[in-house]
Structure 1
Amino acid sequence: MALFTLRLSIFSFLLLLTPFVQAQQQNQLAKPQTVADAPPLTLQDAIRLGLEHNYSIRLSQTDQEIARNNVTRGNAGQLPIVDASFTRTYNLNYSRQQTGDNAPSVVRGGRSNALVGNAGVTWTIFDGFGMFIAYDRLRALEQSQQHLTRATVEETVEDISNAYYDVVRQSGKIKSLEEALLIGQQRIDLTQAQVDVGVSAKVEVLTARVDFNADRSLLIQQQELLTTAKINLNNLLGRTATTDFSPADSIVVERTLNQESILQDIAARNPRLQQARVGVQVANYDRRLIRANRFPQLDLNGNYGINRNINNNAIVITRTNNTITTSVTTNTNRIYGPNYGFTIGLPVFNGFNNRRLEQNARVVEAQSQLLLEQTNLNLSTEAAQAFAQYQNRLQLLQLEEDNITLARQNVAIALERYRLGLLTPLVLREAQLSQIAAATRLLDIRFQAKQAELALRRLSGTLVQESATQQP
């Protein structure tokens, strides 16, 4: 009886000592998992870095700059073309000239030089309004590239946001596993205390340690997933893959998105849809440009030229009283002055190629209209799928938020009952695994709900504005 009382007293002392041991173990487990000097990174800062350094965005911006540079009236053919040329030549010749039976006249090393200069201008006055159509087409191409750049920016911002929230998700899973390790350590301590007072077998301690090591293995694997998620985000931000950081924002899901307003925003603001609409305009301009080739073209021409030729060894033949004499002299010729006029080109027949090109242009125009309709249908389908997933994930999110509270309460009760010796280790382990699974499901569902929300905002063309105004 006295021995039993002594064991009960020791066991009660260990129970009182457990909170102190728990605090000690919490500090020991927390230290290895803390990343030293990892600077915090907010989603807003991540998006800012991505907009500045992401290679897809930068390449798209250079394409937009090229399209903007191409929008000039000169590129459309509305301005005159001015050409100038200058030529200077020097000659060293051997000349031999003979008239009849007379002795030939020979000049060795004869020198001459020529100067030719010319400046001309050509200005197309009328070409079937093709130059004006070409200018409108260049402006449409610039708008198309602007929409493409905006689409690239929004899609990249979505990728950056998803990658950032994935880091948040993986970090949350690490915290969940760390909590599991704390509970596992408490289980080991309690079981060891029971073994020490003789109320439990050593196999229970070994089982507790095996379960603890299994949770540590999961934690190590989860740390690898977190590292991979950080590398993926760093790649999207255009910086070194090994750059370390800690996410400063949490996953907050907007729960008030409306499908009707999203569809209206898609029709009015989606850059891919707007690009397809501009594509129809470009195809129309291409067809009209081909049709302009059927009209005559009127060009104004102006030219100013100078031509000077100096021959220092020109042979001059003179006849006097039936006597022919030759002499060498210098001969200079100069021709200069302006000339002007106009040219009318009238297409008559080119093997029906204009008709063929115009027919093909009509087909391309019809194709662009079909592409517009297909883009509109695809966007509507994608929006419907994303909204259905969004609603489903919101319901699951609410369920898992309630479930994690119950799971934590269940673990707390199970742990307390285990301390009192009213619960088996197997039941405690099952409660612990249920909490880990519930926490994992909650993080995954929250991440998936945020993905659906981001997809809807990207489709509606509001993601970039929302991201730019989001506060950390």
Structure 2
Amino acid sequence: MLTPLARAQQQNQLARPQSVADAAPLSLQDAIRLGLEHNYDIRLSRTDEEIARNNVTRGNAGQLPVVDAGLTRTYNLNYSRQQVGSANPSVVRGGQSNALVGNAGVTWTIFDGFGMFIAYDRLRALQQSQQQLTRATVEETVENISNAYYDVVRQSGKIKSLEEALAIGQQRIDLTQAQVDVGVSAKVEVLTARVDFNADRSLLIQQQELLTTAKITLNNLLGRTPTTDFRPSDSIVVARSLSQEAIQQDIAVKNPRLQQARVGLQIANYDRRLIRASRFPRLDLNGNYGLTRNINNNFILNSRTNTGDPISTVTTNTNRVYGPNYGFTIALPVFNGFNNRRLEQNARVAESQSQLALEQTNLSLSTEAAQAFAQYQNRLQLLQLEEDNITLARQNVAIALERYRLGLLTPIVLREAQLSQIAAATRLLDIRFQAKQAELALRRLSGSLVQETAAQP
């Protein structure tokens, strides 16, 4: 004979997906690993970081010489007519000529007000800024993945709580039916028990929908097919020893958003110094090696006829010039409509804006940390309360069920005890999830979420 819990689980198969038991287990560590590999936000940020890293070169900063080489070859097919005085013209049809021009040149900037060195430092700062942005994206994505994973755990826990309620409801039906069979209870009480049982099954079906939605959300963050099924293998364990002072210290040192704002201030400083460098003279060294060769058809007047008409012949003339040349160029900015002064003033304003952005980021992070820590402390107190409360609720249901078995309790009181247990279990799961959310927010703000997550077994 089946136990009430087994009978309730058998009846719940219509409300539960058939693939749940066969779904592969998924730990939080595996979920984070998949997210770091396949999440699109992280992948896009890493490509931006790769571009910034590729840009950090001496050549991009203007410190290396520029070498150019060129070769030009032209061919001409000409129709020529030459006439001297009243003599008969000399005509050449299909005269050919060609030219070959080749050169290789180098230009090397020796001095530009140290702008090339400032530009190189700016490129390195841009790389650091993108690295911090990627790190912030990773931290925020890991937090989102963890929250989504623990939400699946929470929704799964609510399903287990409802299954326990259904098992109690099935016992109530069995006991009531037995009382009806011996004539100590009315059939209406059996019907009422079944109505309450079906109401709990309805809640279970709705909870299954919430669980499916939570799984789809997590799969999206992991870059997987939304319908991929899995079973969470980790539970929600809340750390209870976080210190507000330690969190604030870690924010000042390791928070990637704050570090990015500091690098942004450095970049603004480099921009201003680059504009100032444009006020200095610019010295370039130039070198070139060229080759020029021309082959042309020429008319040459050799003699005259007896009548005095000129006699000309067409000859080929070859001209070749080649050799190196070198020198230097000095450019001195004199006046450009006060544009340099305007640009430098705007750069100073941009630098002040970056300073304000840094202060705003610092204040925003401190505020967010204070709010998260206050929520963290509050949820820890509620968590302890609800952990004690769920024990009392389960004891109350067990006592009520036994008293109902002995006929010492009405169905209404038993139902109230059952609903109290469901509510207590739901509150416990919600409070535990909210406490974990606050903990994850604090770890993300302190810049230690990824390292601590990676260290977990």
Q: TM-score, normalised by structure 1?
A: 0.94
Greater displacement, 270-279 / 103-112: 103-112
* Structural mapping, 1:74-113, within 5 Å: 74-113=59-98
Q: Does 1:260 align with 2:242?
A: no
1:21–1:271 distance in 2 versus 1, CA, 3 Å: closer
> What do the CA deviations read for 1:264-296 (whole angstroms, capped 9, x no partner)?
000000000000000000000000000001000
- 3-state SS in 1 of match to 2:223: coil
The counterpart of 1:432, out of the listed 398, 412, 418, is 418
Distance 1:386 1:191 in 2: 49
Q: Distance between the aligned counterparts of 2:358 and 2:220, measured in 1?
A: 33
Pick one of 434, 441, 448 that aligns with 1:455. 441
Instruction: Confirm or deny: 8 A CA contact 1:173 1:222 kept in the other structure.
Output: yes
Aligned-pair CA distance for 1:297: 0.2
Residue of structure 1 equivalent to 2:315? 329
Paired residues of 1:273 and 1:372 also in contact (CA < 8 A) = yes
- Does residue 443 (structure 1) correspond to residue 443 (structure 2)? The answer is no
Please say if residues 23 and 229 of structure 2, whose CA atoms lie closer than 8 Å, have aligned partners that are also in contact: yes
Matched-pair contact (CA < 8 Å) for 1:287–1:358: yes
Matched, 1:186 2:186: no
Whether the aligned pair in 2 keeps the contact of 1:64 and 1:145 (CA below 8 Å) is yes
Which whole-Å CA distance do the structure 2 matches of 1:109 and 1:116 have between them? 23
Residues matched between the structures, number? 452
Contact 1:252–1:450 at 8 Å: present in 2 too?
A: yes
For residues 453 and 24 of structure 1, do their structure 2 counterparts lie closer, same or farther at Cα, with a shift above 3 Å needed?
closer
Q: Of 123, 134, 145, which aligns to 2:130?
A: 145
Q: Which amino acid aligns with 2:181?
A: D
- Taking a change above 3 Å as real, the CA distance of residues 135 and 210 of structure 1, as seen in their structure-2 partners, is same
Q: Provide the rounded CA distance (Å) in 2 between the counterparts of 1:23 and 1:388.
A: 41
Residue 101 (structure 1) shift: 2.5
Q: Calculate the aligned-residue CA RMSD, in Å.
A: 1.4
Counterpart check, 1:316 vs 2:300:
yes
Give the secondary structure class of the aligned counterpart of 1:358: helix
Secondary structure of the 1:101 match is coil
Q: Which residue of 2 aligns with 1:351?
A: 337
Q: Conserved in 2, the CA contact under 8 Å of 1:29 and 1:178?
A: no
Give the aligned residue type for 1:109: G
Question: Which consecutive residues of structure 2, in runs of 5 or more, have no partner in the other structure?
Answer: none
SS at match of 1:135: helix
Q: How far has the Cα of 1:200 moved from its partner?
A: 0.6
In the alignment, the residues of structure 1 paired with residue 378 and residue 147 of structure 2 have an alpha-carbon distance, to the nearest angstrom, of 19
The secondary structure found in structure 1 opposite 2:103 is strand
- Of the three residues 392, 399, 408, the one matched with 2:378 is 392
| Counterpart in the other structure of 1:204 | 189
**Which residue of 100, 103, 109 corresponds with 1:118?**
103
Contact 1:50/1:237, CA 8 A, preserved across alignment: yes
Question: Which residue in the other structure is 1:291 paired with?
Answer: 276
Q: Deviations over 1:169-213 (max 9, x none)?
A: 000000000000000011111111111111111110111011000
How far apart are 1:105 and its partner, in Å?
Answer: 1.7
Amino acid across the alignment from 1:430:
E
Q: CA deviation at 1:317?
A: 2.5
Which whole-Å CA distance do the structure 2 matches of 1:410 and 1:264 have between them?
Answer: 46
- One-letter amino acid matched to 2:21: A
Structure 1 consecutive aligned stretches of length 4 or more whose deviation exceeds 6 Å: 320-323
SS in 2 for 1:60: helix
Distance 1:21 1:285 in 2: 76
Kept in 2: contact 1:309–1:333 (CA 8 A):
yes
Q: 1:134/1:373 Cα in 2 relative to 1: closer, same or farther (>3 Å)?
A: same
Q: Is the CA contact (8 Å cut-off) linking 2:5 and 2:168 kept in structure 1?
A: no
Gapped runs of 5+ residues in structure 1?
1-16
1:466 is matched with which residue?
452
- CA-CA distance at 1:98 after TM superposition: 1.9
Q: Find the aligned partners of 1:319 and 1:122 in 2 and give their Cα distance.
A: 53
1:92-132 deviation digits (Å, cap 9, x = unpaired): 11111222223222111111111110100000000000000
Provide the rounded CA distance (Å) in 1 between the counterparts of 2:175 and 2:66.
94
1:287–1:23 Cα change, 3 Å: closer
Contact 1:251 1:447 in 2 (8 A): yes
SS of 2:328's partner is: strand
Tell me, in whole angstroms, the C-alpha distance in 2 between the residues paired with 1:85 and 1:139: 34
In the alignment, the residues of structure 1 paired with residue 342 and residue 289 of structure 2 have an alpha-carbon distance, to the nearest angstrom, of: 41
| Preserved contact between residue 9 and residue 167 of structure 2 (Cα < 8 Å) | no
One-letter amino acid matched to 1:160: I
The residue identity in structure 2 corresponding to 1:335 is V
SS at match of 1:305: strand
- In 2, Cα distance between the equivalents of 1:147 and 1:132? 23
Mark the CA change 1:264 to 1:24 in structure 2 (over 3 Å): closer, same or farther.
closer
Separation of aligned partners in 2, 1:175 and 1:100? 117
Would the alpha carbon gap of residues 252 and 111 (structure 1) be closer, same or farther in structure 2, given more than 3 Å must change? same
Amino acid at match of 2:300: V
2:4 is aligned, of 16, 22, 26, to 22
State which of 35, 46, 49 in structure 2 corresponds to 1:61: 46
What displacement does 1:27 show? 5.2
Contact 1:29–1:182 under 8 Å retained in 2 = no
Any idea what SS the aligned residue of 1:302 has? strand
In structure 2, distance between residues paired with 1:156 and 1:295: 47
Give the aligned partner of residue 212 of structure 2.
Answer: 227
- Give the Cα–Cα distance (whole angstroms) in 2 for the partners of residues 371 and 410 of structure 1: 56
Q: Percent of aligned pairs with the same residue? A: 84
Question: Could you state the TM-score of these two structures normalised by the residue count of structure 2?
Answer: 0.97
1:234 deviates by 0.5
